[in-house]
Amino acid sequence: MAQVLEFKLPDLGEGLTEAEIVRWMVEVGDVVAVDQPVVEVETAKAMVEVPCPYGGVVTARFGEEGAELPVGAPLLTVAVGEPAESAGPAGATGATGPAGPAGPAGSTDGAGAARSAGEQPARGSGAGGEGAGEAKGSGNVLVGYGTSEAPARRRRVRPQRTASAAPARAGRTNGRTNGRVRSAEPADGPVPVISPLVRRLARQNGLDLRELTGSGPDGLILRADVEYALRAAAARGGTTAAHEAAAAPHPAGQLRAPAPALVGGQPPAEVRTPLKGVRGAVADKLSRSRREIPDATCWVDADATELMRARAAMNAAGGPKISLVALLARICTAALARFPELNSTVDTEAGEIVRFGHVHLGFAAQTDRGLVVPVVRDAHARDAEELTAEFARLTEAARAGRLTPGELTGGTFTLNNYGVFGVDGSTPIINHPEAAMLGVGRIVPKPWVHEGELAARQVVQLSLTFDHRVCDGGTAGGFLRYVADCVEQPAVLLRTL
């Protein structure tokens, strides 16, 4: 007979203790293969697709989309092996959706369908007369979690629901393919959406993505497009207006529309956003940084004209293009080699300053999910081309919500290019538990005394926020001055290569 196995939310690594269900990828009654992704969850670090280590028929799901589950909580149950002749897939308490695919009343072929579709049961699981035998997980690893042998336990298989439940299921499966949710997707293909979070935002507000025209590349629907449509709806008093406003693309400069006007003389209702997920993790880290780190900031204006010319010459020579942030990262690693005190952390429990021998360079990236800091491993050992490629890869993964927890942790120093927001300067909060952060403002033409004469030069403001416990102002000033010298005269950098 069939063995019903319970799959729990695995340990996602990096000390994460909970995750939010973003999207279920299977329905109750679906046939799943070993290691098939079954649910997409969002942690404080990244978006993760969780694969199920068992193959069989899904008999129960635990938790609705948007619910938070602790690590170790049940995610779903799967019927593995051949079921008993007189029973159908189990409908365990807490399941969402029907108990299984509707067949003749009182009968089921759930596990048989798995075999007919070529799906293999979990390794080591019995079939037929060995259905009660030992079932094992796939053994694959998910972010530090190894699927292990399934517990030797059974659950009573409940009878299948009556055929009267079939029409309700048929009504709910409108817009699904093979029983899986295809929310906000037309029959002829998926809607181009940048991330599942955009889908969820539209779904929670009753907005049909098929009626939006995206402003991203190739019509990609961005979060800004959805927010623009929702603001239009709030201003006009209904979701119909949002659909009308979203039917045509809006100029990029109008993605962030002004606050909705008063409707009937009343201000718009207040909006409350839970501090959870990425936003909650950012809030916790920044609060801890302010509590624990006695930081100080110094800054300097630098003439970046020669750096911009050097980059233009490098890119004109052919080969892969070099990004400006890659050159700034190269300057950072050279400066940290001269001033290693800033490539460190404070171990408060041991009462020690820990200086690192490697540079894992974090960089601030603004995404639809909020501010994240991907980490370039061993940045000190990469040249400008390698740094450009790695920055591009991590930035794309960040915007798509595909960064793993390992790509978001372990940084030793952070480079923050806030000039992309059109601002000159900032006093950033250190990315705890690091000891320093270099900020780079926008590069703009300004009057500058060059070689004794007033000229228009490309000027940038550089700022360094540092933990005053790891060094004094002399060290911090020396680091920042060296960075500025390399920006003004890139040839200075050659002496350290």
Residue 178 included in any domain: no
Of 125, 157, 172, which residue is a domain's last? Answer: 172
Report the number of distinct structural domains present in the chain: 3
Average pLDDT over residues 271-287: 81
- 296: phi then psi, degrees, rounded to nearest 5: -145, 155
Shared domain check, 50 and 156: yes
The rounded distance, in Å, linking the Cα atoms of 188 and 185 is 8
Lowest mean pLDDT among 29-33, 87-91, 262-266: 87-91
Q: What pLDDT is stored for residue 210 in this prediction?
A: 76
**Cα–Cα separations (whole angstroms), residue 436 to 124, 147, 462, 464, 479:** 52, 39, 13, 7, 11
Domain coverage including residue 480:
294-494
Shared domain check, 152 and 210: no
Number of neighbouring beta carbons within 10 Å of residue 399: 18
Q: What pLDDT is stored for residue 460 in this prediction?
A: 97
The rounded distance, in Å, linking the Cα atoms of 218 and 221 is 9
Q: How many helices (H) and strands (E) does the chain have?
A: 11, 21
Is residue 183 over pLDDT 70? no
Lowest mean pLDDT among 96-105, 218-227, 413-422: 96-105
- pLDDT band, residue 495 (cuts 50/70/90): low
User: What is the four-CA torsion angle of 260, 264, 270, 271, rounded to 10 degrees?
Assistant: -50
**pTM check: above 0.75:** no
Average pLDDT over residues 187-200: 59
Average pLDDT over residues 407-422: 92
Shared domain check, 220 and 166: no
**Cα–Cα separations (whole angstroms), residue 378 to 50, 292, 333, 381:** 29, 27, 10, 6
Average pLDDT over residues 206-217: 76
Residue appearing with tokens 């053994």:
139
* Residue-averaged pLDDT of the chain: 75
Q: What pLDDT is stored for residue 192 in this prediction?
A: 65
28: buried, middle or exposed (CB in 10 Å: 19+, 13-18, 0-12)? buried
The string of pLDDT tens digits covering residues 23-50 is 899 999 999 998 888 998 877 666 778 8
Q: Which residues are catalytic?
A: 468
The rounded distance, in Å, linking the Cα atoms of 324 and 363 is 13
Shared domain check, 113 and 80: yes
Residue 277 included in any domain: no
Residue appearing with tokens 């042998």:
149
The string of pLDDT tens digits covering residues 97-127 is 433 433 433 333 433 333 333 344 333 333 3
The string of pLDDT tens digits covering residues 298-308 is 999 999 999 99
